[in-house]
Amino acid sequence: MKARILEGKTGIITGALDENSIAWKTAVKAHQHGAKILLTNAPVALRMGKVQQLAEQLETEVIGADATSLEDLGKLYDAAEAKFGKLDFILHSIGMSPNVRKEKPYTDLNYDWMFKTLDISAISFHKMMSLAYKRKLMKEWGSVVALSFIAAQRSFPKYGDMSDAKALLESIARTFGYYFGRDQKVRVNTISQSPTPTTAGTGVDGFDQMLKYGEVMSPLGNATAEDCADLCVLLFSDFTKRITMQNLFSDGGFSSVGASPEILGTR
Ligand code: NAI
């Protein structure tokens, strides 16, 4: 029988929009592993997406919350506490850039939009952790995970100001991870995932080419949304109790390759 490594655990999963979402796959797998989950997404996503369908499947509910709003997050945590008491895990699976969406070049950003990008895609992670920390919402050895991309370290021009958001997101994980670990024994990590065909992913100009490039650069091929979900489940579990403040690459080896024969045309 398959081991259920999240038996008895409870958590919040953000960002499940449709079946392609990494958060959707993670919620399904975490549930299969025995976890009880509260789902949340932005109010607009509740109207446009399919998250209610997922909630029915997992016999749970969805709480609408804009992750940039401390008030909304407070209400989300009230609901989570009423349902579960303290939590074992939280997944931050949220990203959006108006500049990328409207194809504004990086050399000519709209700065109001850039603030939005940073707030939605990175500072919301700080807000979620700060509120949870102050309320002592997480159990000891709890786990907080956010999803990142290698544009935090390397230049991917079409990824625009999302690159800056991901660099900030990873820094917040390290910096908050210190306090969360020292004071409450809570882990904080990011997963840097391969390009993945989701609503957010395919919204980046040149996504198909990035997907193909990743496929031939990575010795194991691109990591899929399922692969990422498996790693999330592992990071929520007790098997990774002392892994914290890390950025783990779920990328088939892409981040360690300089050039591949396929790219050089030498094969
Ligand atoms: P997705 O489009 O399915 O998920 C993004 C989610 O963010 C949506 O559910 C959306 O409603 C939510 N969101 C946007 N603004 C919000 C707000 N203000 N408050 C609350 N939620 C909000 O796409 P995907 O790919 O599953 O994205 C999940 C995470 O994975 C994001 O952080 C993304 O940057 C990251 N990621 C995605 C990759 C890809 O190629 N798809 C690669 C590496 C990382």
For the chain, the three-class secondary structure string (H helix, E strand, C coil) is CCCCCCCCCEEEEECCCCCCCHHHHHHHHHHHCCCEEEEEECHHHHHHCCHHHHHHHCCCCEEECCCCCHHHHHHHHHHHHHHHCCEEEEEECCCCCHHHHCCCCHHHCCHHHHHHHHHHHHHHHHHHHHHHHHHCCEEEEEEEEEEECHHHCCCCHHHCCHHHHHHHHHHHHHHHHHHHHHHHCCEEEEEEECCCCCHHHHCCCCHHHHHHHHHHHCCCCCCCHHHHHHHHHHHHCHHHCCCCCCEEEECCCHHHCCCCHHHHCCC
Give the nearest ligand 1 atom to 149 CA: 43
Does any domain span residue 217?
yes
Distance 265 CA to ligand 1 centre (A): 34
pLDDT at 11 over 80: yes
pLDDT at 65 over 50: yes
Burial of 223 (0-12, 13-18, 19+ CB in 10 A): buried
Mean pLDDT score across all residues of the chain = 97
Does any domain span residue 263?
no
Ligand 1, CB cutoff 6 Å, lining residues: 14-15, 17, 21-23, 41-42, 45, 66-68, 93-96, 120, 147-149, 193, 195-196, 198-201
- Mutation pick for ligand 1 pocket among 92, 198, 218 (CB with most ligand atoms within 8 Å): 198
Q: Residue 189 belongs to a domain with what CATH number? A: 3.40.50.720
Does any domain span residue 177?
yes
Give the nearest ligand 1 atom to 146 CA: 32
Does any domain span residue 5?
no
**Using one digit for the tens of pLDDT, what is the confidence trace for 115-153?**
999 999 999 999 999 999 999 999 999 999 999 999 999
- Which domain range does residue 32 map to? 10-251
**Using one digit for the tens of pLDDT, what is the confidence trace for 158-177?**
999 999 999 999 999 999 99
Query: Which residue has its alpha carbon closest to ligand 1 atom 33?
Result: 95
CA 32 – CA 55 distance, rounded (Å): 14
pLDDT of residue 157: 85
CA 127 – CA 90 distance, rounded (Å): 13
pLDDT at 1 over 70: no
Does any domain span residue 188?
yes
Does any domain span residue 1?
no
Amino acid at 266: T
pLDDT (mean) for 103-126: 98
Counted domains in the chain: 1
Does any domain span residue 2?
no
Is residue 97 within 8 A of residue 165, CB to CB? The reply is: yes
- Mutation pick for ligand 1 pocket among 21, 25, 228 (CB with most ligand atoms within 8 Å): 21
Is residue 192 within 8 A of residue 227, CB to CB? The reply is: no
pLDDT band at 19 (very low <50, low <70, confident <90, very high): very high
Percentage of residues in the chain having pLDDT higher than 70: 100
